[in-house]
Amino acid sequence: MSIFDDKDLCEELNYSANDEYQQYLKTTPSGIKFLPEKCPEVSELLLKSETGTFVKWIKKNHKSINLEIPPKSQKLSLNSNEYWMPLVFLASDMSLQVYLGIVASYIYDRTKGMLSNDKRGVHLKAVYNDQKLQVSKEFVYDGSIEGLENIIKKIDVNKLMEH
Amino acid sequence: MFKCSKIKDIYSQLKSGISKVLQSLEKNNIQSAEYEVEKLLQELEQQENKLSKGKDIELDEFFILKQQIFFFKNYVNLWNKIFIEEYGESWVELQNCLDKIRLIKKFLYDSSFAIIQFFESQLLELEQLYPYKIFMSTSLIVDYYKCSICGKDIDSNECEHIKGELYRGKIACGIANKIRNMNHIAMVKYPSDKRCVEIYDNRSEQFKLVRYLSDSLRSNKLNVISFHHLKFKKGNKKNKSIYKQGRNDLCQCGSGKKFKKCCQNKMYVVQEHVDIVGQPTHIKCILA
């Protein structure tokens, strides 16, 4: 297998920086919080360059969603043909399934005009609250747009929460 | 193709010019096609001046029309570069053409028009003749992106524009302001810009397929408009370094084994073969 082979990766992990997320859950009952992240070989935290466009798109298309945006931070701009979505915290009213649906329709809008052989990938991380187990989990996806759409179709949040 | 009557009128005025460009290319007459494109561009400029205070929808549709005419400029440049054997440069023009098609498809209310489908299909076939499969992709750390329309931080609340959208005939772009550093360069299969490639000499082996196409065009075996698709197949080719000998003779390679147990099965090698397939195409059908 070559390093350039296409492969979709989807993981659900226990979220390590739990205190920060629990604090968010206590103080914010609804919406999405966008966060800068650590990047290899860079000391400061950086926001993914897709953040601004994504935030504006949500404001335009889902006006009722409460959004928390970090103060100005530097941006990491990657020139691969992929959507590097920002790390997000999901409040208790925002299920993972709903968030993934929002990402999918954002990507659908952004990929209008794609040529028949164009391929684009998606990278996303979302931290959400597993209400049954009362633990915070991190959903990670790295793969194709089609792969993400399949996951949304197949995902059964209730089953995920049973783990 | 357009909803606004003004833009429809401009398009029908330009259509005969577009047809002349295609007719010139059908005869492989690049110089004539270049001349016709220049005339189209001049006409477009005159129309743009008249339309400067138009309605939003008129300006947005004029933007799409402009991309079409710029597409033909890139398209003629592309084939010109192939004719004059500047293959590396032709790759850049090919990507310019494909970018224009993406923009047209994005903003046109219906992208199923024959003209778009014809060029998209033809150029994607042409793309396969080039040696570029892996591309460079940069990673930059940037302070903020300045909006190409209002000049404010495009990600801030103060800027009302969304990156990639059309506003009165202008596309909102984020212009990197203060690039702090280049974090890394990655090698990727699907870059946002396919122009970031390793540079090969135009006479190099890597361009043998495009060179073959260029030879076919220059010898008029094929014309630009009739270039249709590629047929990839695998075939056996005689391995010139191995000559035939008796099955039980000692092998020519000096291994000490019999030929039948050594190099006999290497007498033919599997080779990829590409057929360039032409198909008569009526310009009227493309412009329908």
Give me the interface pTM, i.e. the ipTM. Answer: 0.82
- Quick one: pLDDT at residue A162? 52
Range B239-257 average pLDDT: 91
- Quick one: pLDDT at residue B114? 84
B185 touching A, CB under 8 A? no
Q: Shortest CB distance from A80 goes to which of B103, B142, B192? A: B192
Best CA proximity match to A110, nearest among B173, B163, B101, B67 = B163
Range B49-65 average pLDDT: 91
> Contact at 8 Å (CB) between A143 and A8?
yes
Interchain proximity B140–A77, CB inside 8 Å: yes
SS3 B224: coil
Task: Assess whether pLDDT exceeds 50 at residue B248.
Answer: yes
Task: Assess whether pLDDT exceeds 70 at residue A5.
Answer: no
Task: Assess whether pLDDT exceeds 70 at residue B244.
Answer: yes
Range B17-21 average pLDDT: 96
Residue, of A81 and A128, whose pLDDT is higher: A128
Give the pLDDT band of residue A31 (cuts 50, 70, 90): very high
CA of A4 vs chain B CAs: smallest distance (Å): 7
Q: Shortest CB distance from B162 goes to which of A49, A56, A112? A: A56
Nearest CA in chain A to B172: A53
Question: Residue A129 is encoded by which pair of tokens?
Answer: 């609250």
Nearest CA in chain B to A80: B191
Nearest CA in chain B to A39: B183
CA dihedral B216, B220, B223, B224 (to 10 degrees): 60
CA of A6 vs chain B CAs: smallest distance (Å): 9
List CB contacts (< 8 A) between B186 and chain A. 78, 80
Residue, of A158 and A149, whose pLDDT is higher: A149
Question: Residue B81 is encoded by which pair of tokens?
Answer: 């570069």
How far apart are alpha carbons B70 and B101 in whole angstroms?
10
Q: How many other C-beta atoms are found inside a 10 Å radius of the C-beta of residue B176? A: 15
Task: Assess whether pLDDT exceeds 50 at residue A98.
Answer: yes
Interchain proximity A113–B111, CB inside 8 Å: yes
CA of A44 vs chain B CAs: smallest distance (Å): 11
Interchain proximity A113–B104, CB inside 8 Å: yes
Global pTM value: 0.87
Chain B, residues 79-138, CB within 8 A of chain A, namely 98, 101-107, 111, 120-121, 124, 127, 134, 137-138
Best CA proximity match to B61, nearest among B101, B127, B125, B3 = B3
Chain B, residues 143-172, CB within 8 A of chain A, namely 143-145, 153-156, 162-164
How far apart are alpha carbons A126 and A95 in whole angstroms?
10
Give the pLDDT band of residue B269 (cuts 50, 70, 90): confident
> Residues near B49 by Cβ (< 8 Å), separated by ≥ 6?
none
> Residues near A6 by Cβ (< 8 Å), separated by ≥ 6?
A119, A143, A144, B189
Best CA proximity match to B278, nearest among B143, B141, B126 = B126
Question: Residue A109 is encoded by which pair of tokens?
Answer: 């809008």
Q: Percent of chain B beyond pLDDT 90? A: 73
For all residues of chain B together, what is the average pLDDT?
Answer: 92
Give the pLDDT band of residue A3 (cuts 50, 70, 90): low
Best CA proximity match to A88, nearest among A31, A135, A7 = A31
> Contact at 8 Å (CB) between B200 and B191?
no
SS3 B145: strand
Interchain proximity B164–A53, CB inside 8 Å: yes
Interchain proximity A77–B137, CB inside 8 Å: no
Question: Residue A124 is encoded by which pair of tokens?
Answer: 């996303």
Chain A, residues 47-86, CB within 8 A of chain B, namely 49, 51-53, 55-57, 60, 72, 74-82
Beta strands B227-238; B268-278: pairing state: antiparallel
CA of A60 vs chain B CAs: smallest distance (Å): 10
Size of interface A-B (CB pairs under 8 A): 107
DSSP letters of B79-120? HHHHHTT-HHHHHHHHHHHHHHHHHHHHHSS----HHHHHHH
Strands of A47-48's sheet in order across: A47-48, A75-78, B135-147, B174-188
Task: Assess whether pLDDT exceeds 80 at residue A161.
Answer: no
> Contact at 8 Å (CB) between B214 and B85?
yes
- Quick one: pLDDT at residue B178? 85
Integer-rounded Cα radius of gyration of chain B: 25
Range B44-58 average pLDDT: 90
Give the pLDDT band of residue A156 (cuts 50, 70, 90): low
Task: Assess whether pLDDT exceeds 90 at residue A25.
Answer: no
List CB contacts (< 8 A) between B97 and chain A. none
Integer-rounded Cα radius of gyration of chain A: 16
Give the pLDDT band of residue A163 (cuts 50, 70, 90): very low
Residue, of A145 and B75, whose pLDDT is higher: B75
Q: Under the phi-then-psi rule, with left for phi > 0, alpha for psi from -120 to 50, and beta for the rest, what region is B250?
A: beta
A39 touching B, CB under 8 A? yes
Q: How many other C-beta atoms are found inside a 10 Å radius of the C-beta of residue B110? A: 9
CA of B117 vs chain A CAs: smallest distance (Å): 10
Task: Assess whether pLDDT exceeds 80 at residue A80.
Answer: no
**∠ CA A58-A61-A65 to the nearest 5 degrees?**
55
| Chosen from B155, B163, B178, B184 to mutate, greatest number of chain A CBs within 10 A | B155
Amino acid letter, B113 = F
The DSSP symbol for A118 reads -
Give the pLDDT band of residue A19 (cuts 50, 70, 90): confident
- Quick one: pLDDT at residue B184? 85
How far apart are alpha carbons B73 and B193 in whole angstroms?
20
pLDDT (tens digit per residue) in B172-219: 999 988 888 888 888 988 888 999 999 999 999 999 999 999 999 999
Q: Give helix then strand counts, H and E, for chain B.
A: 7, 6
B252 touching A, CB under 8 A? no
Nearest CA in chain A to B158: A56
